[in-house]
Structure 1
């Protein structure tokens, strides 16, 4: 199953930059408030919460692990899936030597399993936390013209660390939502395709996705609705919270991300998932330039753009 590429290189580069920087900026905005309650956030930053990224802001393990996955793709996206998973597993082992930016116990434990020689098909831990979801969006870019491989790669690469069905469904949704965003689909129209590609994987995820959609169309305030969805530590809630924010603010990257991080819960992960999807749809100009300039190591992200574009076209040319 393949689809021809219909986007020009400049347009695709603009959207890739939107995804990469949209993810990292949202991650950096959420980082200082991740372990605070909403009440504590308001007490520290004012009634509207945290709204801007201070200079020299680092990102967290969310962006770090997206880059780990990106390197695996650069080394093997053109391979059949078992070969690609070998490359991703190698990068996860190498990641253990990188600075600890707050990675969860599940991802670290699975990477240690890989380091100990356990094959990637059995390295995953039965956890439904959001560590696999938060990194998979880049698959939506690389395989945007091959939805069948995209869905399989999102599922299998997610299960290298998180083998729980709820995490599996969220990984598929997270990657596929970026593909839909790159295609120009508005968040409202993503609902049915996301239900379709995750059908039968996890009833828990399906219910969370439906609940998010219904709450976004309710009369509840953002704050009231987000509290009903959850705190985002588990993958179904993480995606549901992010999807709610982009449904409410489909054309406003900044407002969607600000809404996503000002919660009691996993602010940086919810923010980065929402920011990556909207950044991919709206392009780099939607991401505040002041936020991009405030990222501590933005040159690392910039250095990936050309390489990922080349890999995307290499993979697309093989379809």
Structure 2
């Protein structure tokens, strides 16, 4: 594969779109995660929370996405057992980072890894969204290797969340970023997502179908989101995020404002939607005021070049094989 400046510039915009798209959405949802929609409106007005304030921190959603990214930088090209060991090591190191609100499932699995329980036995049978929220970066790194993408999404998710619902959601979360990078319209993602998650979880399949159906119905956003749940479980998290990008496939800001103003897991729903739309639309679609408002935006900037190098390394190897 020939790497040129045009390739690099285009892919870098998409990568920055994914990274900042995830983090900004996560940060916008952070203040309202534990509020009901009525409470959000009471605090922020009838339209809810709409803008990031200066020095807005993200949550464990972005934090753990960056943890997974570091694991990929250490060994994305390796076979699954060796790669999972690298990711497991990064999860153990993460335990020393500030607690940004990680769920009991992810923390419990990481503690098991620290106690030398093997990575293929550390997962907990939980339907929560902790594995889904971090896997979008796999869709970037393995964009040109969909077979490995699905395998890594499935197995890396199991390190913490071994329930079939979480497993299917993890695959969908990663694969949807790959599809976004491929230029697939959100409405056209439905069939490929059904295919790659086929037979894993009836609950997830039903949630995905409901999301598609409700998004193309004539109900309003608020009522449509209520029909899909609150997002505490991975199938609902993805369904809610998918609904938002189906409704606003070309408007990052509106999609994320819609995603956070719910009764439920606002930051996780938004971060999943934000990563997919950020990858689809690129960094230019994200308000500059939002990226500038991130408290630790330099952490994202530092990882861009290493991830680009890994992307081109893997893409070149795949094209030569």
| TM-score greater than 0.5 by the shorter chain | yes
Could you say if the C-alpha distance between residues 98 and 318 of structure 1 is closer, same or farther in structure 2, counting changes exceeding 3 Å? same
Could you say if the C-alpha distance between residues 174 and 32 of structure 1 is closer, same or farther in structure 2, counting changes exceeding 3 Å? same
Alignment of 1:50-89 (within 5 A): 50-89=49-88
**1:134 Cα deviation (Å)?**
0.1
Distance 2:220 2:264 in 1: 18
- Is residue 229 from structure 1 mapped to residue 228 from structure 2 by the alignment? yes
Task: Name 2:175's counterpart in structure 1.
Answer: 176
Distance 2:83 2:140 in 1: 16
Preserved contact between residue 5 and residue 145 of structure 1 (Cα < 8 Å): no
**1:8 Cα deviation (Å)?**
1.4
Distance 2:315 2:108 in 1: 34
Task: Name 2:281's counterpart in structure 1.
Answer: 282
Task: Name 1:259's counterpart in structure 2.
Answer: 258
Distance 2:160 2:90 in 1: 13
Task: Name 1:39's counterpart in structure 2.
Answer: 38
Task: Name 1:197's counterpart in structure 2.
Answer: 196
Distance 1:66 1:4 in 2: 29
Task: Name 2:121's counterpart in structure 1.
Answer: 122
**1:315 Cα deviation (Å)?**
1.4
Number of residue equivalences: 317
Distance 1:279 1:184 in 2: 12
**1:61 Cα deviation (Å)?**
0.1
**1:160 Cα deviation (Å)?**
0.2
Task: Name 1:97's counterpart in structure 2.
Answer: 96
Distance 1:5 1:202 in 2: 40
Preserved contact between residue 5 and residue 316 of structure 1 (Cα < 8 Å): no
**1:5 Cα deviation (Å)?**
9.3
Consecutive unaligned residues in structure 2, runs of 5 or more: none
Classify the secondary structure of the residue corresponding to 2:51: coil
Give runs of ≥4 in structure 1 deviating > 6 Å.
3-7
Consecutive unaligned residues in structure 1, runs of 5 or more: none
Task: Name 2:149's counterpart in structure 1.
Answer: 150
Classify the secondary structure of the residue corresponding to 1:55: coil
Task: Name 2:216's counterpart in structure 1.
Answer: 217
Deviation per residue, 1:178-207 (Å, 9 max, x gap): 000011111000000000000001000000
Preserved contact between residue 158 and residue 168 of structure 1 (Cα < 8 Å): yes
Distance 2:235 2:157 in 1: 14
Distance 1:162 1:299 in 2: 30
Classify the secondary structure of the residue corresponding to 1:8: helix
